[in-house]
Copies of this chain bind each other. A is one copy, B any other.
Amino acid sequence: MFKLIKKEKKRRVGKLYTMHGSVSTPFFLPIATKGAVKNLTPEELREAGAEIILGNTYHLWLRPGHELISKAGGLQKFSGWNGPILTDSGGYQVFSLAGKRGNQGVKLTERGVEFCDPTDGKKYFMAPEKSIEIQLALGSDIVMVLDECPPYPCTKEYARKSLERTTRWAERCLKYFKKRTQSEKFKMQNDNAKFKNNRPLLFGIIQGSVYKDLRQESARQLLELDFDGYAIGGVAVGEPREKIKKVLEWVLPLLPEEKPRYLMGLGRPEEIAFAAKSGIDMFDCVIPTRNARHGSLFVRKGIRRLAEGGKRQFYQAINITNKKFKNDFGPVDGHCDCYTCRNFSRAYLRHLFSVGEPLAGRLATLHNLKFYLDLMGCLKK
């Protein structure tokens, strides 16, 4: 299921096998929140170097619904992306989106979370088992347990209670997941021998906020349950960025070599480079795609610095809508060979943004994603 091919100091290079093919690690997951990476086709994702994408359970559950996607033959068939897909549990969005209006709609109990769809007020109930049920219906290759992600800052008392609940929920998820995926019927449906894996993988999520003993306690509890991989959650929620390094320092030494590690929701290119060198195998983040839509583009500082994997500062972010690019007929990034840089100038991109042409966000997204995927390529060497 996971093969460690090479280790260089703490950095790991490996291969993860899923129902829909294998993926080289470390990898970055472009985010297809609602079943599409904003602006891009599956073909373009492949061309940019993506091997796996992330779908959001919360969004797809509400619209168009997991039953519809299951009827379509899974998210792969529905969206035209024929590779592996990781799905989050939906928990994070329940709190951050459904709870936006002062949380009045979100009710958290031991059973699960009740919330209202902010769009139409319809009530939903997300239990750990429900999250797994939805993810399996979506045809997910990598399924995440439902966790509670505490905000930052949060008291140690709250963080402890929250991580203990997260462990109890993880246990329920695992039990339900095993019941569903060990049935002969499930195996028959997914018998894909060439990919060496005929069932989805289930990952546990380590919580514990910024407290060393809690993070380690969370890791130990999940290790005992024995998941296919381990994610570090509850980072990039507003804490000082230095704290993330600490969390990696506390947690990574406890994790087994033979299982993949996933740092959720992070981050800037230098953070990804650092974390990969600390031993993380998987990343996802909205930065490349979201920033692109606002005209913020990554530009390499020479080609070698990126290849060195972030030893020195290896990029700068430019805002293409800036007036200084009005007459700049050079490419966004002279060291990039993405479709955008091969065919268009900074002046043209700036124009497209300034008149609100939909092609703007598309060309920018293509470029930023290529930058991230090229960085991952360097970190794989």
CB-based contact A359/B42 at 8 Å: no
A339 interface residue per 8 A CB criterion: yes
Q: How many residues of A contact B (CB 8 A)?
A: 38
> Which of A31-39, A247-255, A266-274 has 4 or more CB atoms under 8 Å from chain B?
A31-39
Task: Mark A184-223 against chain B: 1 for CB-CB distance below 8 A, else 0.
Answer: 0000000000000000000000000000000000000000
A59 interface residue per 8 A CB criterion: yes
CB-based contact A359/B326 at 8 Å: no
Residues of B within 8 A of A78 (CB): 345, 347-348, 351
A40 interface residue per 8 A CB criterion: yes
B39, B71, B79, B359: the one contacting A36 at CB < 8 Å is: B359
B35, B350, B354: the one contacting A348 at CB < 8 Å is: B35
Q: For chain A residues 335-378, which have a beta carbon within 8 Å of chain B?
A: 339, 343-345, 347-348, 350-352, 354-355, 357-359, 361-363
CB-based contact B361/A68 at 8 Å: no
CB-based contact B354/A64 at 8 Å: yes
A63 interface residue per 8 A CB criterion: yes
Q: For chain A residues 33-80, which have a beta carbon within 8 Å of chain B?
A: 34-36, 38-43, 59, 63-64, 68, 71-72, 78-80
Residues of B within 8 A of A344 (CB): 80
Residues of B within 8 A of A313 (CB): none
Q: For chain A residues 74-94, which have a beta carbon within 8 Å of chain B?
A: 78-80
Stoichiometry, as copies per complex, reads 2
CB-based contact A348/B79 at 8 Å: yes
CB-based contact B34/A326 at 8 Å: no
Name the distance in Å between A326's Cβ and chain B's nearest Cβ.
7
A329 interface residue per 8 A CB criterion: yes
Name the distance in Å between A93's Cβ and chain B's nearest Cβ.
14
Name the distance in Å between A140's Cβ and chain B's nearest Cβ.
17
CB-based contact B71/A327 at 8 Å: yes
- Given the interface pairs A78-B348, A348-B79, the reply to whether A63 lies near B358 with Cβ below 8 Å is no
CB-based contact B80/A348 at 8 Å: yes
Q: Which residue, A34, A350, A351, A354, has most C-beta atoms of chain B within 10 A?
A: A351
Q: For chain A residues 142-156, which have a beta carbon within 8 Å of chain B?
A: none
- Among residues of B, the one whose C-beta sits closest to the C-beta of A358 is B39
Name the distance in Å between A102's Cβ and chain B's nearest Cβ.
24
Residues of B within 8 A of A39 (CB): 358-359, 362
Residues of B within 8 A of A59 (CB): 355
CB-based contact A347/B64 at 8 Å: yes
Residues of B within 8 A of A358 (CB): 38-39, 358, 361-362
A interface residues (Cβ-Cβ under 8 A, vs B): 34-36, 38-43, 59, 63-64, 68, 71-72, 78-80, 326-327, 329, 339, 343-345, 347-348, 350-352, 354-355, 357-359, 361-363
| Complex A-B: 22 CB contacts under 8 Å | A34-B351, A34-B355, A36-B359, A39-B358, A39-B359, A39-B362, A40-B359, A41-B339, A41-B359, A43-B339, A63-B351, A64-B326, A64-B347, A64-B351, A68-B351, A71-B329, A72-B347, A72-B348, A78-B351, A80-B344, A358-B361, A358-B362
19 extra A-B contacts, CB within 8 A, seeds A35-B357, A64-B350: A34-B352, A34-B355, A35-B351, A36-B357, A36-B359, A38-B359, A41-B363, A42-B343, A43-B339, A63-B354, A64-B351, A68-B326, A68-B351, A71-B329, A72-B345, A78-B347, A79-B348, A80-B343, A358-B361
